């Protein structure tokens, strides 16, 4: 879908001269008018978030950020806000351009520069939110996507984003301190056979255009979790920028209504086990490479849950949390699924600021049983 490095300067620029754009099943609305920084921040909350937004501010081109909604599942999130390093018009599909993007000729961000020693950012889009939480941690769901995939994996064109709380970036891979970035999440480079796949299980390749978005690649749905000080004002900076040049766009999608104070909120797609301590969700991939959230079946206990993919009477997935504190000081995660679709299981300990545990199955592989007897600490 893209051009070699030597021709990057010739990439056609996709300009935005409209107030709303829609291709296929995704609709994007750039910032402007009533869609200001405060409205963007408010779009992340729902009635049970346990968070009060005190104020918000935005730095960057208005056309680079806004809201999105999808009629069918494309990126694993159906609505929310997005920040890009170019234009929101690069997000909707189809994937029919050799290189989509816009150079806004805007400055970078010093805090992002600090994450890439020797590099320099430009075209930064930054949403700063001042908020008061009721709990000691916050979380939300997100997807990072980019037109830099797959040709520029392993190169200096490693567009970057970060979610800073208290000056620390918590946009990291589950259970690690590894920042989510093009060179850290990929299945290899399409032009450099010596660059090995890196955290490939978190990556979705869209160079074939199977998903109705212009982005050539993206992460699976990830969970941001960060420690905060309850009952007082905290500050979060959501930032994204181009690196080395401003041509091809990257974007980060944040799920609307998913910004919470870290407690477990049961829903059609989330289940709470062991008195609400553990929150569990399942996102699955069909053979058309469409990603959807599994739905919680009506059956279940305080320690176990069932999920289904399409039909309520056709259960696909059983998971349980076992209190093994008296045996090895751990909570155990056991699950099994009667399927060969791809899936990501996310289990979060709401009483810990540690990253959630995630378990994967590759599309086309019969799901194995998983017995993780060291999943979470009891204290």
355 has a pLDDT exceeding 60:
yes
279-313 tens-digit pLDDT: 999 999 888 888 888 999 988 899 999 999 989 98
CB atoms within 10 A of CB 76: 26
CA distance 214 to 206: 9
Q: What pLDDT digit, counting tens, does each position of 3-33 carry? A: 344 434 433 333 333 333 333 489 999 999 8
Tens digit of each residue's pLDDT (9 = 90 or more) over 85-130: 999 999 998 988 877 778 877 888 999 988 876 668 899 999 999 9
* Residues making up the chain, counted from first to last: 379
Confidence of residue 2 (pLDDT cuts 50, 70, 90): very low
Identify the residue with better confidence: 136 or 332. Answer: 332
The predicted model gives 264-276 an average pLDDT of 87
Residue 80 — pLDDT band, cuts 50, 70, 90?
A: very high
- Angle at CA 3, nearest 5°, toward 2 and 4? 135
> Which of these, 305, 141, 332, 167, lies nearest to 236 by C-alpha position?
167
Pull the structure tokens for residue 99: 């290189």
Q: What predicted TM-score, i.e. pTM, was given to this entire model?
A: 0.74
The owner of tokens 């005190």 is 54
Residue 50 has pLDDT above 80, yes or no: yes
């Amino acid at each position: 879908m893209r051009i070699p490095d030597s021709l990057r300067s010739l990439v056609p620029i996709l300009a935005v001269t409209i107030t709303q754009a829609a291709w296929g099943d995704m609709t994007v609305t750039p910032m402007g008018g009533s869609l200001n920084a405060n409205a963007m921040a408010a779009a992340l909350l729902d009635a049970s978030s346990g968070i009060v937004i005190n104020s918000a501010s935005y730095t960057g081109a208005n056309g680079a950020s806004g809201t999105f909604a999808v009629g069918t599942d494309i990126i694993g999130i159906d609505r929310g806000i997005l920040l890009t390093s170019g234009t929101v018009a690069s997000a909707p599909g189809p994937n029919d351009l050799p290189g989509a993007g816009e150079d806004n000729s805007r400055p970078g961000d010093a805090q992002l520069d600090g994450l890439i020693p020797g590099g320099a950012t430009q075209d930064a889009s930054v949403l700063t939110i001042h908020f008061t939480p009721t709990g000691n941690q916050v979380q939300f769901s997100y997807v990072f996507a980019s037109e830099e995939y797959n040709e520029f994996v392993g190169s200096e064109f490693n567009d970057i984003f970060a979610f800073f709380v208290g000056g620390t970036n918590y946009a990291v891979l589950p259970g690690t301190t590894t920042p989510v970035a093009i060179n850290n999440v990929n299945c290899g480079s399409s032009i450099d056979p010596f660059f090995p796949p890196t955290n490939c299980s978190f990556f979705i390749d869209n160079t074939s255009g199977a998903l109705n978005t212009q982005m050539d690649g993206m992460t699976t749905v990830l969970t941001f979790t960060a420690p905060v000080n309850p009952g007082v004002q905290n500050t979060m900076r959501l930032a994204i920028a181009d690196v080395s040049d401003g041509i091809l766009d990257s974007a980060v999608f944040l799920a609307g209504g998913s910004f919470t104070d870290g407690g477990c909120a049961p829903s059609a797609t989330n289940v709470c086990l062991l008195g609400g301590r553990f929150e569990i969700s399942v996102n699955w991939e069909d053979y058309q490479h469409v990603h959807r959230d599994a739905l919680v079946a009506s059956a279940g206990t305080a320690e176990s849950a069932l999920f289904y993919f399409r039909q309520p009477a056709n259960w696909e997935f059983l998971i349980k949390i076992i209190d093994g504190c008296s045996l090895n000081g751990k909570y155990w995660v056991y699950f099994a699924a009667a399927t060969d679709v791809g899936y990501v299981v996310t289990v979060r300990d709401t009483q810990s600021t540690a990253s959630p545990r995630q378990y994967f199955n590759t599309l086309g592989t019969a799901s194995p049983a998983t017995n993780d007897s060291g999943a979470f600490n009891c204290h």
